[in-house]
Amino acid sequence: MPPKVSKGKSNPPRPLKRKLPPGSSKPHKKKPKIEPPKPKPFLFLSLPPEIRNMIYGFAFIRPDGVRLVGQPTLPLPRSPKWLWKRKFAQHSRGRSRRVSAEDRLPVPFLGCCKRVHAEARAMLYSNSFVAEDMETLGAWLDKLGSGNATCLQRIRVRTEPQTWSPRVSTKVLEQQERYRNACRRVANLLAAAVNLESFKTIFYYHHKIKLPRRSRLKRTGRVTGWMGLARKITEALYHDFRPIYSKGLTRGRTPEELCRVLGVSPNNWWGRRQSLSPSTLTAREAERAENEVAKHMRLLLERNLKYRLHPRFRAQASSS
């Protein structure tokens, strides 16, 4: 008998099994990746201002000052004693030229955001800066910018070995003129320093200084050789750094305040000058010469103010 066929019901077709190649295992289902929670950023600006100021102080304040080290350009000048030609300048701390990483100033910290830069730059540039020479200071100020220069307060400029001779030689005159050109460049860059309190130099001026006639101030009375030299050095200082003095007077600072901001080295009075009589000074006479610099500078600044009150100067200022 033939087999009975059920009516109305049919078996559904079974799904075909996918044949895997020999040697392969069954595919596993991919497990979802569990990513670790991202750490939240440290919100430095959420700290209280007092704590932020403490951090800025630890990072930027240097009680011993900050030394500015310059790198000479290549090729070097002919004279080995005259290397005032700098490519750039960088910060350094301490007396040793080899500075550890912990002692370096974290200047990139200022660039993390505008608010940190605005809060911390006043602390950084309130340090006392010591430059190797005038051109190193100029290279540093050139990259510093006028905005940061407004916070500078105390600067001291050393000098490299000077070629010295009582006679007026070509080398001496070239050295003196090159230094004064560097001073004029620094003065233009430093004119924005509204908080400048002290700018000291250690340069030894020669007694044969060339000055324009407009920088000279004639005073009545007899003057000795050393007092005449003090006035001449003061007039050179006033002429070379005139932008600093002019901007200071414009901002309302008095001649009494500005006359002692820029100072020359006491070595100018303690050294021996055979062309003057006497050739050396006592401690009391050297102090008188140093005070004469401040007095003569005050008179030069008062003359500047008097010229500003002239009707011709007022007409020029109003037209501009």
Q: Answer whether residue 313 shows pLDDT above 90.
A: no
Q: What is the pTM of this model?
A: 0.74
User: Which residue, among 6, 143, 15, has the nearest Cα to 86 in the 3D structure?
Assistant: 143
Residues, the chain: 320
* pLDDT in the model for residue 165: 67
What is the band of 77 on the pLDDT scale with cuts at 50, 70, 90?
Answer: very low
* pLDDT in the model for residue 109: 86
Domain boundaries along the sequence of the chain:
46-213+222-319
pLDDT digits (tens, 9 = 90+) for 136-160: 999 999 988 888 999 999 999 998 7
Compute the half-sphere exposure of residue 215: CA atoms within 13 Å on the CB side of its CA: 17
What is the band of 317 on the pLDDT scale with cuts at 50, 70, 90?
Answer: low
Strand 66-72 to 86-92 pairing: antiparallel
Distance CA 51, CA 172 (A): 54
Name the range with the highest mean pLDDT among 79-88, 90-99, 176-185.
Answer: 176-185
Q: Which residue has the higher pLDDT, 156 or 161?
A: 156
* pLDDT in the model for residue 82: 40
Distance CA 202, CA 185 (A): 18
Three-class SS state of 187:
helix
Burial class, 190, CB count within 10 angstroms (exposed 0-12 / middle 13-18 / buried 19+): buried
Q: How many CB atoms lie within 10 A of CB 230?
A: 25
Three-class SS state of 99:
coil
Q: What percent of the chain has pLDDT over 90?
A: 33
Contacts for 163 with CB less than 8 Å, ≥ 6 apart: 79, 81, 82, 169, 171, 172, 175
pLDDT digits (tens, 9 = 90+) for 114-136: 888 989 999 999 999 999 889 89
Distance CA 257, CA 237 (A): 16
Q: Residue 48 corresponds to which tokens in the numbers above?
A: 């209280």
Q: In whole numbers, what is the pLDDT of the chain averaged over residues?
A: 80
What is the band of 266 on the pLDDT scale with cuts at 50, 70, 90?
Answer: confident
* pLDDT in the model for residue 312: 58
* pLDDT in the model for residue 19: 64
| Measured CA distances, 130 to 55, 56, 87, 94, 157 (Å) | 24, 21, 17, 11, 6
What is the band of 88 on the pLDDT scale with cuts at 50, 70, 90?
Answer: low
Q: Which residue has the higher pLDDT, 47 or 21?
A: 47
